[in-house]
Amino acid sequence: MPKFSALTIAVACVLASLSAVADTPPEPNGAARRACSLNGRWCVERQRSPSDPGQVERLRVIASGLEKRSDTSWSTAVRVIGSLAVTNDGACVIDLATGSNLLSLEKKPDDPAFAIYCKDSAAKVLPLGKFIVDFKSLPRSTSHRIWAESFGLDEHDCLVVNTKEGRTFLIDPHSGRLIQGSYAH
The answer to the question of residue 185 being in a domain is no
C-alpha distances in Å from residue 64, one per residue of 14, 40, 59, 108, 152: 20, 7, 15, 38, 21
The answer to the question of residue 1 being in a domain is no
High-pLDDT (> 90) share of the chain, %: 61
Q: For 93, phi and psi rounded to 5 degrees?
A: -120, 135
Q: What's the confidence (pLDDT) of residue 29?
A: 46
**In terms of Cα–Cα distance, which of 15, 95, 111 is closest to 56?**
95
Q: With bands split at pLDDT 50, 70 and 90, how would you rate the model's confidence at 27?
A: very low
**In terms of Cα–Cα distance, which of 77, 184, 84 is closest to 126?**
184
Spatial distance between the Cα atoms of 176 and 126, rounded to a whole number of angstroms: 9
Q: What's the confidence (pLDDT) of residue 54?
A: 55
Q: For 8, phi and psi rounded to 5 degrees?
A: -60, -45
Q: pLDDT at residue 172 above 60?
A: yes
Decide: 185 and 131 in contact? Cβ < 8 Å.
no
* Number of domains the chain is built from: 1
Identify the bridge partners of residue 16 per DSSP, sorted by sequence position. Answer: none
Spatial distance between the Cα atoms of 135 and 56, rounded to a whole number of angstroms: 29
Q: pLDDT at residue 128 above 80?
A: yes
Q: How many helices (H) and strands (E) does the chain have?
A: 1, 14
| Domain limits for position 90 | 6-22+32-180
Tens digit of pLDDT for each residue in 132-167?
999 889 999 889 999 999 999 999 999 999 999 999
The answer to the question of residue 105 being in a domain is yes
